[in-house]
Structure 1
Amino acid sequence: MARLLFIAVFKLIGWRIDGNLSAGLKKCVLIIAPHTSNWDFVLGVVSRTICGFKANYLIKKEFFRFKPLAWFFTYTGGIPVDRKNKKVDLVGSVVEKFESRDSLVLTITPEGTRSYVEEWKTGFYRIAWRAKVPIVLVGFDYSKKLVKFIEEFEPTGNMEEDIIYIKNQYRDVKGKHPELGVR
């Protein structure tokens, strides 16, 4: 029912989706860039519902303190993480989640913030490399009202070169606030 509602709303407001996850792909790190607005979360939930897959995302554990928020974030796929505890190997703990599940689509915004950053955080890449899963590149292009599945990328192990390549795939994707996006 939600899927049909979201399809109707997307058509009504002029948004469309180009692509989807590959058939049979059960595990991947799905990155969304540029991440320049809180509306990206809404677009992500609506898009994955229309496309027919479930996805999880990492979120600060502090958001789980208030029960209604905890319920909402759990319902929408949130996985609480303690980013402040330097004793926790966050990448390793996420890789363990990939290893212990039959399927996991983990959504990450490589900027790690809605503000402009010169360099992306590398956790998404390190997770994909260690878990031996592809990175699916997805762009939210507000100028075209388009959610685009750009590419399914297999990390080579050369993180620096791979991230340069990946960032280049987003050069023409305009976030809600383009000045905060990929450069």
Structure 2
Amino acid sequence: MLKTVSLGLILARMISKFIYTKVLGWKLVGEFPEEPKKFVAIGAPHTSWKDFPIAILARNSFGVKINFIGKKSLFKPPFGFIFKWLGGTPVDRSKSNNLVESIIDIFNSREEFRLGLSPEGTRKKVDKWKTGFYYIAKGAGVPIIMFTLDFGKKQVAISEPYYPTDDIEKDFKVFTEFYKDVKGANPDQF
């Protein structure tokens, strides 16, 4: 089956790749796979506002659609439409609702869905990562793909798909190993 891609998407990919590689001097290591069509992508370290534009430029350079969630206040006027246009969905973190189950339902209702998350859940320094991304992947039966936001090497590196096991400690060791030499924009925050 022939895939049709709009001229706008091709142009956005070319412009993003030019800015990402030529203007900013970053590189892409690895690729987001076309298969599977569903996965949770975790990006770390998340230590600065700069992480978001770097991740969006990298995503666009790869030419793969990866959605994200963000706090509800980001989606308010006058700039909220930009976050929606970029693939974002607002979440109300002030209410106690089961966000993990809601996202699993999204995965189960679609043939194709890729969700990008920061396992830290914030730009501030944290002692341990949140586990929501892990339980989303397990509940939806999808792999986790890790990607770095490495300001030391100026690169985004992508892992192979990793299917979580029933041993969370073992799985988190795999994640820790992947990110061990990565430097964030604010290295003291990671």
Q: What TM-score results when the alignment is normalised by the length of structure 1?
A: 0.93
- Alignment match of 2:61 (pick from 36, 50, 58): 50
Between the aligned partners of 2:74 and 2:187, the Cα distance in structure 1 is 28
Unaligned runs of 5+ in 1: none
How high is the sequence identity, in percent, across the aligned residues?
40
Structure 2 residue matching 1:125: 3-state secondary structure: helix
In the alignment, is the contact (CA less than 8 A) between 2:17 and 2:60 conserved in 1? no
CA distance, structure 2, for counterparts of residue 55 and residue 23 of structure 1? 11
**CA–CA separation in structure 1 for the residues paired with 2:183 and 2:52:** 16
Distance 2:74 2:32 in 1: 29
Tell me if the contact between 1:110 and 1:121 (Cα under 8 Å) persists in the aligned partners.
yes
Shift of 1:12: 3.0
Taking the TM superposition and a 5 Å limit, the aligned residue runs for 1:39-78 are 39-64=50-75, 66-78=76-88
Within the candidate set 110, 119, 125, 1:110 is matched to: 119
| Superposed displacement of residue 27, structure 1 | 0.4
Residue 16 (structure 1) aligned with residue 16 (structure 2): no
Aligned to 1:165: 174
Greater strand proportion: 1
- Superposition CA RMSD, Å: 1.3
Structure 2 match to 1:36 = 47
Is the Cα–Cα contact under 8 Å of residues 35 and 175 in structure 1 kept in the other structure? Answer: yes
Does residue 128 of the first structure (1) align with residue 137 of the second (2)? yes
CA distance in 2, matches of 1:76, 1:173: 26
Residue 97 of structure 1 deviates from its aligned partner by 0.4
How many residues matched? 179
After superposing the two structures, state which structure 1 stretch, 32-41 or 67-76, moved more: 67-76
Match of 1:153 in 2: 162
Q: Secondary structure at the match of 2:34?
A: coil
Greater mean alpha carbon deviation, residues 4-13 or residues 136-145? 4-13
Question: What CA deviation, in whole Å up to 9, does each residue of 1:88-136 have, x standing for no partner?
Answer: 2110000000011111110000001111111100000000000000000
Gaps of 5+ in 2: 1-10
